[in-house]
Structure 1
Amino acid sequence: MSLTIACASSAVAKVSEQEAKRLGSDLTPTGALAVGNAAGTIPAWTGGITEPPAGYKVGDFHPSPFPGETTLFTITAQNYKEYAEHLTPGQIALLKQYDPGYFIPVYKTHRSASYPDWIYKKLKENATAAILLEHGNGVKNTIATSPFPIPENGVEVIWNHTLRFRGEQAESRAAFVTPTQDGSFTPTIMDYEYYFTYSQPGMELADIDNKIFYLRIKIMAPAKLAGTLNLVHETLDQIRSPRKAWRYEAGTRRLRRSPNLAYGTDFPNGASLRTVDQEDMYNGAPVQYTWELLGKKEIYVPYNAYKLHSGDLKLADIVRPKHINQELTRYELHRVWVVEGVLREGIGHVYAKRRLYFDEDSWHILLTEEYNSDDKLWRVSEAHTINYYEVPTVWTTLSLTYDLKSQRYLADGLDNEYRPINFSPDLNIKDFTTSAARREAKR
């Protein structure tokens, strides 16, 4: 299966009512195959996690629903060829380059992804109503969650990730690190606040003012960056109305527009290890690339990363030279959609090609590979996800970008020494105005 979308001259049609009836039948409500695989190594989806483990309380770090499970086997640079059909080029590159410390511990597969019932209802409504706008720059007739549960091309799959349900609002404190090759690091500690306009119950597309979400990030440490604040208004059609971003720096005491906080710009304070459009694995308007849907594959992907999520860990337990502590990771065999993007002629970006791997059960991107202009693999990213029971939703607990040239990496979302995401922080859309950002920055 290979489908390509170039610069379409007209909107792409929605699926038929008959086809949409597959959702909740042979397809899950999110559009995944409901059945397991023929080998029995991927089970059927039976609803995902619908109740948290005994003893869990909202506000706790999320305990594993699979306590006591041990690895089925471990993939290394020595034996990877036995498992190569279920590995990506990026994973093989990491195994080879960082042998013997980097390995892939494989566990039993659990299709744990779940969403609220009202999101499943919206997915079915979106399937028959959502339309991809001209050139793939946005969507219409959709709300709350992924617009194309039965996708027909690569751009629709990308929008499924961009607009997937992550709750109605969220607040967290977490660190990101960019360790040197010897493993030393200074954490940058950030407070995050999200207000997902697109996913507010009862909201219609006409009500959201072309905004997917509002985001406010305040740096708490180190001291030289403390007080820096970023405000982002993420737009749906970024060609009609580009992302709006502002930055407040304590040294200048001014809130200024950040027009370049998009696409291939370096991630702020990220040691030039990640671009802005790699945040959340991939973000922004997909217009810079021609995207091809390569179909589905069964891949060993990071999944159910409850061990990495633990509040009993310190950052030093996770961070290692050149890569994280792989003893704390968990990989499972899952079906993923594979989408490849080739940079359009005349467009400037540091990545000439990118390959994205989307979880069929959640639409979350789990792996990415970025290539330079010589078609050489440059960077590999992983999203270690969990099911957040109290929503429920699938979201990253730790994201990683490995730079194969510099042999360094960026790890983002390290909340272990702080607190897990709070999905009920009682935020208001008024908290994300520029005047509110100035008040917050000066506290």
Structure 2
Amino acid sequence: MKRKNSVSVPVLFAGAFFVSALSAGGAFAKVPDAQINRLGAELTPLGAEKAGNGGAIPEWTGGLSSVPANVADEFSPDKLAPNPFSADKVQFEITGENIAQYGDQLTEGYKALLSTYSSYKMPVYQTRRTCAFPEFVYEATKNNAKVADLTGGGNGVAEGIMGFPFPIPNNALEIIWNHSLRYRAFKLTREFTAAPVTRSGEYELQTVQDEAIIQWANPTKKSAEELDNISLLYIANTVAPARSAGSVILVHETLNRALEDRRAWQYSPGTRRVRRAPNISYDNPGTNSDGLSTSDAFDGFNGAPDRYDWTVLGKSEKFIAANTYDAVLTTYDNLIKPLHINQDVMRYELHRVWSIEANIRPGTRHVYAKRVKHFDEDSWTITGTELYDGRGELWRVQELHGRQDYGVPLCNKGAEIVYDLQAGRYLALALQNEGQPTNFNADELDADRYTPAAIRQLGVR
């Protein structure tokens, strides 16, 4: 390796309540009080099954809501969180030779990776249900179950605020919105790295400083109607390599896309001008992705869902990337390898996962004709996707690493890997391995900063 310049059959529906319509096209139904009262009882505050499966999946008992005692001496908010499970041992490994033994518990994406790359393996560890959020998020989520609604034909959310909008979902679109509006703090800043990797393992690190004010989580707001249709204010400033430095993106993410599309601007240091950037959406190439991902594929999925018909496939037990602390604590040279990341530092666990399918809507276009997405039931976060081309062939596989930021507490997503099976290349995103942790308390951020004029000032080479 060289560094340049430096779905099975749906089961287990008991964990959430589906009223009638299991597809996005069905009528939207309110959740009965009897179902809402299950939150915090036999269901977790976010709607997952508290109970284990009598085997590998344990009961949820509250997750990691504070710094564990065994890492308290090492923990610092200014450093990447130490692995509280460093003593855990690999229980077994899944490889291309034993896929059949675990077939029902593997997504189609993992089956493809195991079949395509002889060096790819999945070290499986004890399942630990670490997901936890602040109590006010749980309270807001329960209230959302009573009042939140889809609006704009499923392209927006009304009435709810702060927590997960649909802890007991009625359809696939509500599951997508749980992911899109999941709690990630109110004001945050970070520095992350992206690495488009060639087949031979060469890559050039691209470093971005980004920041966000997540208005959906604004503690001063009482409902979505107070947000002026803006759920998120976001700035991303590319700072390396030198030839890309100074390129800045500004996004005002709209909450009801039926009323208004995402507003986006881009400052180019070459022209020294700020321009509207409607191309930062849908299947346009993603920023700093070297053509290996689309704008709406970052974070598993983002933006308007209106080009697809969405269907719930069901809930099943699947191996997912979870509690991947070691994958963050290693160096880039040890993480990034030819064909795929270093699987020796990865951790997989058996979790219950919701799966949904999106098929391109007649009369619309997208480079992905079909998308299958898998959500960890404890966090509603997308943990993996399969992306299909117009021929119906599996094209790309996304793997999103789950990790509990127990110092917040916050059940969060770490690195994101996009494997292009047809090109034999991959894109590693949201890497923080050799940097600082995310600052989830960036109180200095002000909404007045998120203007085209402000990003021109940032874009200085």
Q: TM-score, normalised by structure 1?
A: 0.96
* Equivalent of 1:190 in 183, 194, 208: 208
One-letter code aligned to 2:51: V
Q: Which residue of 50, 54, 62 maps to 1:34? A: 50
Q: Which amino acid aligns with 2:334?
A: D
1:106 correspondence with 2:124: yes
Contact 1:183 1:320 in 2 (8 A): yes
Q: 2:30 aligns with which of 10, 14, 31?
A: 14
| Aligned ranges 1:1-400 → 2 under 5 Å | 4-7=22-25, 12-38=28-54, 40-53=55-68, 54-55=72-73, 56-99=75-118, 101-204=119-222, 205-310=224-329, 313-400=330-417
Farther-moved stretch of structure 1 (110-119 vs 205-214): 205-214
CA apart distance, 1:7: 4.4
Could you tell me the percent identity over the aligned residues?
A: 41
CA distance in 1, matches of 2:447, 2:78: 23
Runs of 4+ residues over 6 Å off in structure 1:
none
- Supply the AA of the counterpart residue of 1:213: L
SS at match of 2:437: strand
Partner of 2:4: none
In structure 2, distance between residues paired with 1:75 and 1:35: 26
Bigger drift between 209-218 and 298-307 goes to 209-218
Distance 1:46 1:308 in 2: 26
Paired residue type of 1:67: S
Distance in 2, Cα, partners of 1:186 & 1:59: 26
Cα offset, 1:343, TM superposition: 0.6
Residue 262 of structure 1 aligns to a residue whose secondary structure is coil
Cα shift at 1:416:
1.3
User: In 2, distance between residues paired with 1:129 and 1:407?
Assistant: 46
Moved more, 59-68 or 330-339: 59-68
Letter in 1 for 2:64: I
Q: What one-letter code is carried by the residue in structure 2 that aligns with 1:416?
A: N
Which whole-Å deviations, capped at 9, do the CAs of 1:138-160 have from their partners, x for residues lacking one?
11110012111001111110000
Stretches of structure 1 lacking an aligned partner (at least 5 in a row): none
Offset at 1:314?
A: 2.0
8 Å CA contact 2:81–2:325 kept in 1: the answer is yes
Instruction: Look up the SS of the partner of 2:142 in the other structure.
Output: helix
1:318-346 Cα shifts (integer Å, max 9, x gaps)? 11111100011100000010101111011
Q: Deviations over 1:145-179 (max 9, x none)?
A: 21110011111100000010011121111110111
Q: d(CA) in 1 for partners of 2:134 and 2:314? A: 27
Question: For residues 296 and 341 of structure 2, what CA distance do their matches in structure 1 show?
Answer: 22
- CA shift, 1:137, in A, is 0.8
Superimposed CA distance per residue, residues 298-318 of structure 1 (whole angstroms, 9 cap, x where no aligned partner)? 0000000100121xx321111
| Secondary structure, counterpart of 2:243 in structure 1 | coil
Shift of 1:115: 0.4
1:433 pairs, out of 427, 451, 456, with 451
Deviation at 1:186, TM superposition (A): 0.6
Cα separation, partners in 2 of 1:420 and 1:123, compared to 1, 3 Å? same
**Structure 1 residues 441 and 219: CA distance shift in structure 2, 3 A:** same
Partners of 1:221 and 1:57 lie apart in 2 by 27
Q: 1:430 aligns to what SS in structure 2?
A: helix
Report which stretch shifted further, 52-61 or 124-133: 52-61
| Count of residue pairs the alignment pairs up | 437
Q: What are the superposed Cα offsets for residues 167-197 of structure 1, whole Å, 9 maximum, x if unpaired? A: 1121111110111111011111110111111
Unaligned runs of 5+ in 2: 1-9, 14-20
Instruction: Give the Cα–Cα distance (whole angstroms) in 2 for the partners of residues 433 and 399 of structure 1.
Output: 28
Cα offsets for 1:227-257 (capped at 9, x unmatched): 1101111111112111111111111111111
Distance, in Å, in 2 between the alignment partners of 1:131 and 1:179 is: 42
Secondary structure of 1:307's match?
Answer: helix
Root-mean-square deviation (Å) = 1.3
1:439 CA drift (Å) = 2.0
Q: Displacement, 1:265?
A: 0.8
1:413 maps to which of 430, 433, 440: 430
- Matched residues in 1 for 2:352 and 2:220: separation? 32
Cα distance in 1 for partners of 2:416, 2:143 equals 31
- Between the aligned partners of 2:92 and 2:273, the Cα distance in structure 1 is 54
Superposed displacement of residue 390, structure 1: 2.6
Partner of 2:18: none
Asked if 2 retains the 8 angstrom alpha-carbon contact of 1:147 and 1:160, the reply is yes
